Structure 1
Amino acid sequence: MDSNWDSSPSPPQREAMSDGSDEYTCDNLRCVPKDRVCNGGTTARQLGREAELHTWVARGRAPCNVTYYGEVGRSYEIDLRESDNLKIPFTCELTFVAAGDIYGDLVQIVFRDLTLGTFKSHHVCGCPKGHLSIEEPHRGKIGGNWCGGTNTHNVYYSETNTVTVTVSVNDPPAKKETHGEKKIRLRLFYKFLLSAESIVRYGPWNSAKYLGVHRPDTICDRVFDSCDRRKCRVQSPNYPGLYPRNLTCQYVIRQATVPHGRHALVSVGQAERGRVHIKHTDASCDDNLQLWLDEECDVVGDTLSIYEIQGETRRLLMRFCGGGKVPHITASGAELLLVFQTSPFDNMYFDPSVNTHPGFELDVGVVFVPKNSFLYADQKCEFEISSFEAARGHFENVAHSLPSNSNCSYKFRGRPDEVVWLYFTRLKGVDTQPPSIDGPPCRTRVTLIEGVEEDGDVLENTCGPMGVRVCHREQLGPGRNRTRPCGSTESYLTKGSHVTLTIHYVSPSTVSNLQFRLHYEFVYAGPRAAALNRPEPCDRQINSERSKKGLLTSPANNLLYGKFGATSLKCKYHLQGKPNEAVRITFIYFYAHNSSCPGRDSPLQACGRPKALEGRGARLEVSEWPWPGVELPQACICNGLYLPATLLSYSASVTITFTVIGMDVFDDFSHFNFELEYEFVEVEACEEDRIVTGEAGTLSLALRPSPGPCRGHPWLLQPASDHFLLVSVPGRAIRGGLQGIAHGRLVATEDPMPPAECQSSELHVYQPGNPRPLSAVCVSPGSAETVHVFSEGFNEPLSLDYLGEAARSLVVVLLSRPAYLSGQSSQQQHKAVDVQWVEAAPRWLATRCATECPAVHACISASLFCDGTWHCPSGADEAVVTCLMALSPWLWLAFGLAVGCVSVLSSWWGWTLWKSRRGRSSTGCSEEVLTPGHHESPPEPPEYPDCIDVDFETTV
């Protein structure tokens, strides 16, 4: 057996009377290292030279079955080569012992060159002609083998102080053509290390790694506990060097102590690239250092499988080989099981890159998450979210890992009258390893199904995050970004109350995870979710036959508010009773966030003038329908300062309108809401018709109406065909009327007054169907100031083409102010106010009108002229000239005949008088005769001559 080798590092131990365990004594009593030989002189030559090796062989000294020692800090070399007379079978054992103290605690062996047999397979009969095995006697026999050839740097670090390297040759190697090349060779370097200096395995002294507790009667099984307080590291056997072959190791990681109300999640991973390298290929150069999964590791058979333990069952989370960075693999509970398996046979090759170690070292982590949260699932990854538990919320993907071909489902279950709104604020696909050629084309799939999963409608079915609707602007969080809400292209809104989100992991979630944050909200959609398809989903019809009394509230459907993009809202509630019924409404609560409201003394007139809303605000308006098609406003509320308040209608038909404008993206039903009670009560019917028609008339309205069934009831003024109405009211106009703002046809002596200045009763004039008054007048009986109001369309040419008789009518309502609010006004002397009305036709109906009121350019009936009552604002219909011009033609004829007769009689009388005067003048004056020849000036005419020449002319 001794002649099988050409070289040996040392003589047999029986001749090694050593000065130290790493030396032996030559024949001349000199001590030389065991990796040197005695040359008979005063020096020792290093082994490895053919001449010296043959000298040892000739002397009969063999390198095998020898125990080697050494000192810490020194390196030793052994180079064994096959001799020409090798006898088969052959076995050689080299034992290395770290004797402690200066002789070290651990053994490091560097296999530099190995040529031994032929490598065939990793699993069966892998080394048929010869193999090399490495054993540590103190931990039991493993039985793995290496063979083939390599000249790379392969390092083995012992876990105990003794290592035995065994070389076995079962079949002679084939002859090679290269002259002088040896068929079998083993060249190695060995040294001895101190445990305290092995910081890669054990860590520095001030931050030692916890490698678990070794389980008795096993080779490499270990148990870890309380890793939340320890620096736990899971390492392969003999890390950071070559790991043994034909090995199975189990590592159990438990977290026994868990804080109250928390759930422990145990994880392993490695963020540094060079600390994990589990062989997966026979290639001479493995440049693509990455993780390989499942069947991709079957070539070599070295795998690390990670299971989560749940009671008596285990679930495989990931099985991998290869190397590089290992993402955190997290159990859904407090216990993990790692199983490391290696194949029986291998060729001795590993990546010699700097800072790359064979085997693995994984960091252990423990996190505590709240119990009953969406961050973990005990058994199946299924969650059910019900609106009975929370109307809205958000959650993220589970914090633990999921195996390949697994699902994680989120089932949203709402009430029948609810829909579900979903939107992602974060959705990111995290691939820790690049996809392989043979891998699945889609590692994760997202599906969103509405209704029952088997027969539901597919809202989304995409590969990974591609195509999924994401609302990125919401990542900043509420209150930090005032932008438009998530629209239909950024969120999902169901039609029903059930929807299921499923994340399907084709590959393990550790390799290709889907990180997301999903927001959900169950939105009230009325009695049926289908109500959302109506133009006005919040409108309601209430009949006294079905509901005598009840509660009305603002819609809680967030789809109608600014949160879902709406800027305004209008809801109508129509209450219809029997003819002998009225509606009693009690306003309980009203709230409008950041709404502008002027406020009024009366709680039912808090809006001030019922004009259009502007900017941002909310309003609750109540109107009734005393006549078919005629709407009469009764109350307007924009704040809840004066509530509760009660209103009793005049009729059995009431409409309540809830209006909101100026909403922003953060407004929902909690920002604008109201609550009221309604009740249909039996009342005594008002027998008065209160419908007025005719060319003109006067309404005398009591300022303090007496109690009775008709108290406060409105009046309806209806015009004739192709006519409009003109109403005149003594008093001053109140700012806010439609005609005073939009039309400019309000005739008043002064500008409109602010609403707060009116201390007397108010008279409102409405167009039927329009809750906003055409004019509001602060009445002042006996005042010289008068307000004139036209019916709608008076100043609009061709308005008769689209305005019917009802639209041209006017509703007059007198709002009596309580006595304690009236103050000292003219109401103390007057008990009623006279409201005059007249039918009028605008000038655009005719080019010329003989009975026109010039102040308003309106034509009234000719029968109203000169009747003793002013119907025109300026009184032009009662002027003297106008009345004379307006007389009948027969009267004009009689007047002309009378004037003619008077003219004829006057002419005859004048002629007769002239003739008589002329006769008297001829007899009296002729008696005066001048003497001839006597010439004198004629006498001066008398001051009052007796004869006058009169020329009388009468012109009519």
Structure 2
Amino acid sequence: MLRVFNVSEKNEEERGSFQPQDNVMLRLSYRFLQKEKAVLRYGPSYKLSYRGEDITRSFCDKSFVNCDKKNCKIQSPNFPGIYPRNLTCYYYIRQTHIPDGKIALVRVLQRNPHLIYIKDRNAPHLSRERQLEVGKSCHTLHDYLVVFDGNKTTAPVLSTFCKGGAALTGLTSSGPDMLLLFHASPYDFPFQDSPRRRTYGFELDVEVKFVDRESTAYVPRGSKCEYVISSQGQRSGYVQTVEHSLLANTTCIWQLKAGSSEIVWLYFLHYRHVLHPEMPRPAKCPNTFQIHDGLTTGTGEENSTTLLGKFCKLEKIPRVCSGVHAPSPHSASCSPQDSYVSTQPAMTLLLRYAAGTAPSHVEFLARYEFVDTRQWGEPTPWGGLCDRTFRVRPDRLFASPRDVFMFGRGGAKRLLCEYTFHVPSHQRISLRILRSKMGSNCTTVYRHASRRHECSHGGQPGEPAIRITEEPWSYVPVERACLCNVSNGQSFNIISYTNRIRLTFSISNMTPNEDYNDYFFEGEYNVLDAPLEVIEGCNETVRHLNGRYGNFTVGAGRGDLCAGLPRLISATDSSFLFLRVRGFTATDTNCEVASRINVFAAGGITPLASICPERRDVFTHIFSSGWEDYEFRFQYEDEDEFMWQNESISTSSLPPTTTEEYDFIEPVKRPESRDLFVEYIGNYSGRFLISWVGIWRPLRKPSVPTAKDDPCPHRCPDISACLPKELWCDGTPHCPSGLDEGAAACGLLAALPWVYLAAASVLLLSLVSLFIAVIVHRIQTHMQKSVVAAATAAVNNGHGLKSNTQDLLIPPEKDSW
């Protein structure tokens, strides 16, 4: 320890010794430390400080390169001790290793308020204000630190500060380099406060941040803080405040320009006013943020824009959708009420810093999206928001909506769009789905058994699907296909039966993360002329069959075009239909021909049966929907109970019956429709006969008293059905076993086939003819013999012989004897 005393004149002989009455004028303390223990200057052993490289021919200049990989510390000379007087130090910071597509921003800061204090006066520090002084508050004759946005002193000054005792939030350059200039005044009062009470000098941490080159997080040097984002580039993205320091009176402008059929959707993920407590408190409204509907430059000359919001006070912020990017299942959608939506194809954001970003700044992150409101086709009268009608138009393209507000991410939960294609009656529509997607859980399945495209969920209500339907007959909808995902290489094609076909795009229970990228379709349509034969001779009326029985032919090939069109068979008298189709039930593997005969219940989605057509005598039997579960209830007059599936049910539990001999009561479960829809799919050449009969169930009764009381006198036991009496013994078998044409039903002769009857008739006729011929021959032979005998007698009479005949017929002459 070195001490300096003010020695009195009285004790000149004891000048070399210390006396208690002497005043100490200067006290100097020193201590030798090992380098590893000098952690305040060099850092701890596990994280040593990088104090820069000395620049030659300078006293205190330092150079820092690539501080992203180093623990860079900018220290005043002799830190943490007293720095020398009358000097100027330059600290150059530069980042050379920058990833592709990125920009490096250099930042200096100090979170520890005890590690920064720069003297601002040449006098003992009696006051201990813990606040930085910035700008003009720091006198140029005293000590100060200047931060430049660049590597030269001619670069813009980010801040000038002195004093300390408070944390430095940070100053950030707009590029990969920064220059710090530290100036120590030549004038100073040599007496300082104790180092135990305050550390003089400064130590600043250096950080490097990389931002996207194409982002709005920085302003290129020499440019204005203006950004123009067009929908011709990226359809959506993020807008954020610049992450480097800005000078006073700087205005940042973000212009979002959409297309003519688009609008701009903007929502904030976070927004906050950031005050720097170490700096002097800014004015009441240091930063002003505005949102305009339309394009503006902030000069106030534009009248076509609408102010959507203005935010200046610290407690006022825009609407924020903070739960949009929360992890599932906690994520939430952002509705238009929680965001900002323009009515014009443009939106402008203005942010003005009156005092720069040093005293305070605004931080926000907002997501923008250009919403495509265009829809193909014409609006359907009295239809929904996305219902469209297509006629003959030049483009002949159609697609699902791309309006995000119709999907889960825009706040909607379900969507139902109907696309109706309507052309003149002599034309037909050809649809082609190029690609589609209906979520991750729905796939398109091609059923080889029916040669139809179906959804993997089976068309259950509430599941997402693209359904193609049409009405060949009024109030008889037919679902032609159910689609989910269609790839570009395997498009789906279909031709309508009529001049009107409908595509339904339905989604339900969408999540907040789903939009038009998860549910969509794209397609095209063409108009075809229908053959005259189909329009005139095979229209819907001709192909609508009804009656108690009948038959028709289906198939493909040249000739009859009507055979390839669908048929509708309507049941009469509330009876069921029984179809007899030539072919066998098809599965996914047993049918090699390229055609199917599909039979549906009218209005049904899935086929009741899919038949593989066969030219051999192989038949498949099909019943109307509900036949297997349908039962009648029956009552005789003299009975007090109903018989129902061998069970007795009290009449008090049933509706009152009439006084007729027997009553038919409503079935337990009424089918949706007993009519049948038959279609032929494919190009397998041939004609295949289909016959139908209207049938009903025989009454379930233990016994029938008399034949006349039997409500089902013409039974077909092998199908448990009753046939119309017109079909009983009509020469054509309608029961699968042929019982209706058997001997028991029609008698022995009626049971014989007509071929055998014809042969027997011919044989009988031949035998009768032969018998007659024999009789005639015998008569002729006898007559010939009589004639010969008469002739012989005549000859004998001529020779003197008497004729016996003459003796009998002529009286004898009188003889003399």
Using structure 1 for the length normalisation, give the TM-score.
0.53
The residue number in structure 2 matching 1:566 is: 412
Q: 1:329 aligns with which of 171, 178, 182?
A: 171
Do residues 265 (structure 1) and 109 (structure 2) align? no
The residue number in structure 2 matching 1:319 is: 160
**For 1:260 and 1:782, how far apart are their aligned partners in 2?**
72
Seen in structure 2, the aligned counterparts of structure 1 residues 612 and 268 have a Cα distance that, compared at 3 Å, is closer
* 1:171-199 CA-partner distances (Å, limit 9, x unpaired): xxxxxxxxxxxxxxxx3334677798895
Do residues 504 (structure 1) and 378 (structure 2) align? no
**For 1:38 and 1:277, how far apart are their aligned partners in 2?**
44
Do residues 704 (structure 1) and 554 (structure 2) align? yes
The residue number in structure 2 matching 1:514 is: 362
1:664 deviates by 2.3
Q: Secondary structure at the match of 1:650?
A: coil
Do residues 832 (structure 1) and 691 (structure 2) align? yes
**For 2:695 and 2:385, how far apart are their aligned partners in 1?**
44
1:41 deviates by 5.6
**For 2:544 and 2:486, how far apart are their aligned partners in 1?**
45
The residue number in structure 1 matching 2:512 is: 665
Written as runs of structure 1 = structure 2, the 5 A alignment for 1:534-933 is 536-544=384-392, 546-547=393-394, 550-592=396-438, 593-595=440-442, 600-601=447-448, 605-607=452-454, 613-623=460-470, 632-633=477-478, 635-639=480-484, 644-685=491-532, 686-688=535-537, 690-691=540-541, 697=547, 700=550, 702-704=552-554, 708=560, 710-711=562-563, 728-731=575-578, 761-766=598-603, 813-816=677-680, 831-833=690-692
Q: 2:260 aligns with which of 416, 422, 428?
A: 416
* 1:777-829 CA-partner distances (Å, limit 9, x unpaired): 8999997966699xxxxxxxxxxxxxxxxxx999974223669899xxxx97x
Q: Secondary structure at the match of 2:114?
A: helix
Q: Secondary structure at the match of 1:606?
A: strand
* 1:491-534 CA-partner distances (Å, limit 9, x unpaired): 43444443233443344435434344433433332259x99xx9
Do residues 376 (structure 1) and 218 (structure 2) align? yes
- Letter in structure 1 aligned against 2:348: T
Q: Is 2:426–2:529's contact at 8 Å kept on the other side of the alignment? A: yes
* 1:727-752 CA-partner distances (Å, limit 9, x unpaired): 6441399xxxxxxxxxxxxxxxxxxx
1:761 deviates by 4.2
Q: Secondary structure at the match of 1:594?
A: coil
1:326 deviates by 0.9
1:308 deviates by 0.4
Q: Secondary structure at the match of 1:257?
A: coil
**For 1:339 and 1:346, how far apart are their aligned partners in 2?**
19
- Letter in structure 2 aligned against 1:461: K
Written as runs of structure 1 = structure 2, the 5 A alignment for 1:158-173 is none
Seen in structure 2, the aligned counterparts of structure 1 residues 268 and 457 have a Cα distance that, compared at 3 Å, is same
**For 1:49 and 1:384, how far apart are their aligned partners in 2?**
78
Q: Which has the higher contact order (CA 8 A, sep 6+)?
A: 2
**For 1:674 and 1:662, how far apart are their aligned partners in 2?**
19
The residue number in structure 2 matching 1:144 is: none
**For 2:87 and 2:148, how far apart are their aligned partners in 1?**
15
- Letter in structure 1 aligned against 2:421: L
Q: Is 2:272–2:363's contact at 8 Å kept on the other side of the alignment? A: yes
Q: 2:322 aligns with which of 453, 457, 472?
A: 472
1:325 deviates by 0.8
* 1:290-341 CA-partner distances (Å, limit 9, x unpaired): 2333355569976433220278952222233341111221111133233456
Q: Is 1:411–1:501's contact at 8 Å kept on the other side of the alignment? A: yes
1:274 deviates by 1.5
**For 1:564 and 1:349, how far apart are their aligned partners in 2?**
68
Do residues 46 (structure 1) and 46 (structure 2) align? no
Q: Secondary structure at the match of 1:327?
A: strand
Q: Secondary structure at the match of 1:472?
A: coil
Q: Is 2:109–2:169's contact at 8 Å kept on the other side of the alignment? A: yes
Written as runs of structure 1 = structure 2, the 5 A alignment for 1:400-415 is 400-415=244-259
**For 1:551 and 1:211, how far apart are their aligned partners in 2?**
66
Q: Secondary structure at the match of 1:274?
A: helix
1:649 deviates by 2.0
Q: Secondary structure at the match of 1:485?
A: coil
* 1:681-716 CA-partner distances (Å, limit 9, x unpaired): 222241145449999956845242675454555679
Percent identical pairs in the alignment equals 22
Seen in structure 2, the aligned counterparts of structure 1 residues 204 and 776 have a Cα distance that, compared at 3 Å, is closer
Q: Secondary structure at the match of 1:46?
A: coil
The residue number in structure 1 matching 2:805 is: none
- Letter in structure 1 aligned against 2:447: R
Q: Secondary structure at the match of 2:454?
A: coil
Q: Secondary structure at the match of 2:441?
A: coil
- Letter in structure 1 aligned against 2:407: Y
**For 1:784 and 1:267, how far apart are their aligned partners in 2?**
82
**For 2:495 and 2:464, how far apart are their aligned partners in 1?**
26
- Letter in structure 2 aligned against 1:376: Y
Do residues 294 (structure 1) and 126 (structure 2) align? no
The residue number in structure 2 matching 1:449 is: 292
Written as runs of structure 1 = structure 2, the 5 A alignment for 1:171-186 is none
Seen in structure 2, the aligned counterparts of structure 1 residues 204 and 635 have a Cα distance that, compared at 3 Å, is closer
* 1:748-779 CA-partner distances (Å, limit 9, x unpaired): xxxxx99999996414434xxxxx67997899
Aligned length: 617
Seen in structure 2, the aligned counterparts of structure 1 residues 701 and 234 have a Cα distance that, compared at 3 Å, is same
Q: Secondary structure at the match of 2:447?
A: coil
1:594 deviates by 0.3
Q: 1:224 aligns with which of 55, 63, 71?
A: 63
Q: Secondary structure at the match of 2:319?
A: coil
1:211 deviates by 6.3
1:637 deviates by 1.9
- Letter in structure 1 aligned against 2:678: L
Q: Secondary structure at the match of 1:704?
A: strand
- Letter in structure 2 aligned against 1:362: L
**For 1:667 and 1:648, how far apart are their aligned partners in 2?**
32
**For 2:568 and 2:545, how far apart are their aligned partners in 1?**
14
Q: Secondary structure at the match of 2:323?
A: helix
**For 1:333 and 1:782, how far apart are their aligned partners in 2?**
82
Q: Is 2:326–2:332's contact at 8 Å kept on the other side of the alignment? A: no
Using structure 2 for the length normalisation, give the TM-score.
0.61
The residue number in structure 2 matching 1:461 is: 310
Q: Is 2:567–2:678's contact at 8 Å kept on the other side of the alignment? A: no
- Letter in structure 2 aligned against 1:424: F
Seen in structure 2, the aligned counterparts of structure 1 residues 257 and 675 have a Cα distance that, compared at 3 Å, is closer
- Letter in structure 2 aligned against 1:618: A
- Letter in structure 1 aligned against 2:114: G
Seen in structure 2, the aligned counterparts of structure 1 residues 672 and 596 have a Cα distance that, compared at 3 Å, is same
**For 2:576 and 2:225, how far apart are their aligned partners in 1?**
77
- Structure 2 gap segments, 5+ residues each: 297-301, 612-617, 628-671, 697-710, 713-723, 728-817
- Letter in structure 1 aligned against 2:236: R
The residue number in structure 2 matching 1:430 is: 274
Larger Rg: 1
Q: Is 1:728–1:836's contact at 8 Å kept on the other side of the alignment? A: yes
* 1:32-66 CA-partner distances (Å, limit 9, x unpaired): 9997989576784437958xxxxxxxxxxxxxxxx
- Structure 1 gap segments, 5+ residues each: 1-21, 24-31, 51-76, 79-186, 719-723, 734-752, 767-771, 790-807, 838-853, 856-866, 871-956
1:352 deviates by 6.2
